[in-house]
Structure 1
């Protein structure tokens, strides 16, 4: 199996630390890290751990022994101080993603795992950036993508992602919801399930609209979409009130929850799995997973971090690639 590729993310955050700490473990899955060699070496010295860097050569064996790391070097634009953002390095962060995605699309890598980036500093550099998910969609020319997080014994996908709450109702259209559910069903089967996926769908409004008395989005958009997709063979339950949807019997009998917006579903999942969850992008032409946390600038260079989420992201990407084969 080809190696996975891991981007080291925001250089002033904990992304480089995660790569360095990962290198201390024996790995069955070969991984190539994209980043600046000098940065990774300096962070290892700061953390007080051994690190031998090997240049990645396509087609050659990749380092998996503790203390060793295969690196595809991309140079920083400016020196890095842990915890201190510098907009000058925003193009470097995007270059990591561009090279990793190109390698995945070419079949060089089995899948992409991303360390966290800082959206604010990329926008401060004058580059419009909404997030990994949207950036990879645009660069791969994928018509529609779905953000899904997994952990705590559940999977939660999102009908809308990083948008202001006041914009959400207008973004949930029949076309967008149909595309989201088709991709979700397709990629759940492709990467995760052996049979037809069973999906729980949340309503947008309290009590799923209460027959139109608390909002009409369920009646005018969500219910018609679910009814139409059921005729295509999709296994869909809902729309259900979000405050009673996350019950163990319901979750146990379904493969995934579709929440209508970011903070409707993710607080529940992160409560159950914080530090051991994984972010998955569905609808891309390649496997992509990520940690479920941010750059943690205050922890960069301290060593006071947990690689649990990164480890899960790598294991998930490897399992997805294998299932797809």
Structure 2
């Protein structure tokens, strides 16, 4: 055997400390963004049936929830609102006293340093469940842009630090950037859902956000999972229109796309570790089929390795505890 010539890669794996010294990809608390589902009413703290550990919370529970998040060292949250009333135009999305706006004011008063990202879409607020104005069964692109800009301005006025439009209308970043600038919010960045696929992994989220379409699907505005070059075109358009971050959603089945977005654009890339990815792990762990902690860490590290700078994840609190 002495005449064999080969590399001894195992030399760098012989102890925990040595493995840590040569680790190429790290996950930090600062990388995590935790989603919150805020609902109207009071005394509401109810678990989402399809998402164990995720809750609908009313404003009277927000302070305690956010205090836990801050104490864990998480620096940012993304707010989703579930209104009591819906209409064809999603008017509660851009109402100055809408649920996201009220939650933002409350959180900013108590936790001014926490970064609040406002999800900017209409689907939770429309009675038809689509992300834009509907006319004769079609989702209208251009008339929707004004409502999205109004929503973004209202959220910024309430104190949101970042606007995160998720609607996938063409031109939505340009419309929101102009709306924010004209309203005096030139320093409020846009975290665009630049690459958002029409995915079956969103099912539990629609349960949480009460946003299931009442007819049809979202394939006329969300992307075909088979398409790769289209993702780069979408991201390029958002960069040109003024986006400051680029989200890839979902994350786990689109790591190849995330890497290409990272390699082609100079903006921070955000992975959205979506509800279906979360619920599958929770279900398998509850059945004793997997080691939840090890699976979660491996999955989030894969997103970082693929190019994600930040990760929106329902596991954020769990991971923050693991990292402590």
TM-score (norm 2): 0.28
TM-score (norm 1): 0.28
Determine which structure has greater relative contact order: mean sequence separation of CA pairs < 8 Å that are 6+ residues apart, divided by chain length: 1
